[in-house]
Amino acid sequence: RIIMGIESSCDETGVGLVRLSDDGTVELLADEVASSVDQHARFGGVVPEVASRAHLEAMVPTAERAFATAGLKLSDVDAIAVTAGPGLAGALLVGVSAAKAYATALDVPLYGVNHLAGHIAVDTLQHGPLPSLVLALLVSGGHTQLLRVDDIASKITELGSTVDDAAGEAYDKVARVLDLPYPGGPPIDKAAREGNPSAIAFPRGMTGPRDAKFDFSFSGLKTAVARWVEKTERGGAEVPVNDVAASFQEAVADVLTAKAVRAAKDQGIGTLVISGGVAANSRLSSLAAERCAAAGIELRVPRPRLCTDNGAMIAALGAHVVAADRPVAPLDFSANPALPVDVISL
C-alpha cells in the first residue's frame, strides 16, 4: 500500500510517499520539502503569517515533485496522513485542508497524526522496525522531551520535558548573541568544530539532586552565554566565537545525553532514538554514541535530512498507524496547535 504524508506544522512544506508491505516494512519512495526559512531569517524566528502563505504556495508543487520522483500517480495512493498538530495554527490548517481535499478526491482514508510521533517514526525508514519498547529523545525547535514509546502507532508516554526553552530555541538564541545566522543550529555546530569545548564552564541546567529527574532547562544556559559575551565585549576583548559555540554545545549535549541514559536505565529500556532538528548536531550524536555504548544501550539517530521537518516522517507514521488498523479520522477533524504527544492519531 502507498501512503502519502503531508507536513506543514512550521516553516517546511513536506510531502512524502512510502510503501507499506504486508510484512509491515515501510520503504521511502519520495521526500520533497519546500522551506520558507529564508523568508524568516531577517526576523530571527518563524513569522506565522509568512509561513502560512508559503505553505499555500508550495503545497501542490511539492506534492507534484514527490509523485514525479517516486514515479507514482495520485491514483496510486491508498491512504493519506497529515500533521494535525502540534504546530502553528494557520500553517497546520493549510496541510489539513490539502489532505482533506486529496482524500476526498481520491476516496481514500485520512489520518490526522502527531508531528512529534512522526519525528520518532521516521527512524524506521532508515533503521527498520522499532523494538517493542524504545526511549525517544525528541529535540527540536519547539520541543525537548524524553518519551517512552511502547508502540509508535498507539502508546507514547512523556517522561520529562523542558520547563522553559527548547534545545533548538537555545541554539537559535545563542546564534543571535554570537551574530551567527538563523537558524542557529548548523552555524554553531560548524563554529564549535574549531573551538575548545572546555574553554568556558557554562551551567548544566536541572542536573542538581533536587531537580526533576527527566526535565530540562536551557534558559539559564542561554542567559549565561549572553552575559559572558556581554562581559567580554565590555572588557574590550574580542569574543572567541568558536570557543563559546563549542562550550555551549558541550553543555547542551552533556545534559541531553546524561538524562537520556538515566531515563533508559530507570525505565529498563535498551534502545534510544534521538530525533528532531537538533538530532542533526554532530556533538550530540557523538557524545550519545559514547555514553550509550558505555551503558549498553543501542542508539539510533536518523540522518540529518530525516531529523528536520519533512513529509516522509508523516508518511512513515501514517504507515504504522495504517498497519496497526487504527481508526480513520472523521473528515471534519480540525488541526490542534497544542495536540498532546500521547495522541498519536485522531
What are the residues binding Mg ion (CB under 5 A)?
10-11, 309
CB 162 → ligand ATP: shortest distance, Å? 11
Among 85, 95, 185, 197, binds ligand ATP (CB under 6 A): 185
160 binds ligand ATP, rule: CB under 6 A: no
143 belongs to an annotated ligand binding site = no
197 binds ligand ATP, rule: CB under 6 A: no
Task: Give the footprint of ligand ATP on residues 45-84 (CB under 6 A).
Answer: none
Instruction: Catalog residues that contact Fe ion under the rule CB under 5 A.
Output: 140, 309
3-class DSSP assignment, residue 150: strand
Among 5, 16, 85, 87, binds ligand ATP (CB under 6 A): 87
Asked whether 217 and 162 are in contact (CB, 8 A), the reply is yes
195 binds ligand ATP, rule: CB under 6 A: no
118 binds ligand ATP, rule: CB under 6 A: no
Query: Considering CB distances under 5 to 8 angstroms, the limit depending on partner class, which of ligand ATP, Fe ion, Mg ion, none binds residue 87?
Result: ligand ATP
272 belongs to an annotated ligand binding site = no
Among 95, 142, 195, 311, binds ligand ATP (CB under 6 A): 142
44 belongs to an annotated ligand binding site = no
CB 172 → ligand ATP: shortest distance, Å? 5
Contacts of 43 (CB under 8 A, 6+ apart): none
Task: Give the footprint of ligand ATP on residues 239-268 (CB under 6 A).
Answer: none
CB 237 → ligand ATP: shortest distance, Å? 27
Identify which of 279, 277, 313, 302 has the alpha carbon closest to the alpha carbon of residue 26: 313
State phi, psi for 163 to the nearest 5 degrees: -90, -10
Paired with 146 in beta bridges are 137, 160
Q: Interface mask (CB under 6 A) for ligand ATP, residues 291-310, using x and -? A: -----------------xx-
Q: Which residues of 133-163 are buried (b: 16+ CB within 10 A; e: fewer)?
A: ebbbbbbbbbbbbbbbbeebbeebeebbbbe
C-alpha to C-alpha distance for 318 and 103, rounded to whole angstroms: 14
Q: Report the 10 Å Cβ neighbour count for 109.
A: 17
| ∠ CA 3-6-12, rounded to 5° | 145
Given the rule CB under 6 A, which of 96-104, 178-186, 213-221, 335-343 is the region that contacts ligand ATP?
A: 178-186
C-alpha to C-alpha distance for 299 and 80, rounded to whole angstroms: 30
Task: Enter the C-alpha cell of residue 317.
Answer: 507514521
Q: Considering only CA atoms, give the Rg of the chain.
A: 20
Nearer to ligand ATP, 103 or 138 (CB): 138
Give CA separation, 165 vs 162, 170, 242, in Å: 6, 6, 23
Nearer to Fe ion, 220 or 304 (CB): 304
User: Where does this chain bind ligand ATP (CB under 6 A)?
Assistant: 9-10, 87, 115, 140-143, 168, 171-172, 183-186, 189, 276-278, 280-281, 308-309
- Extract the annotated binding site for Fe cation: 115, 119, 309
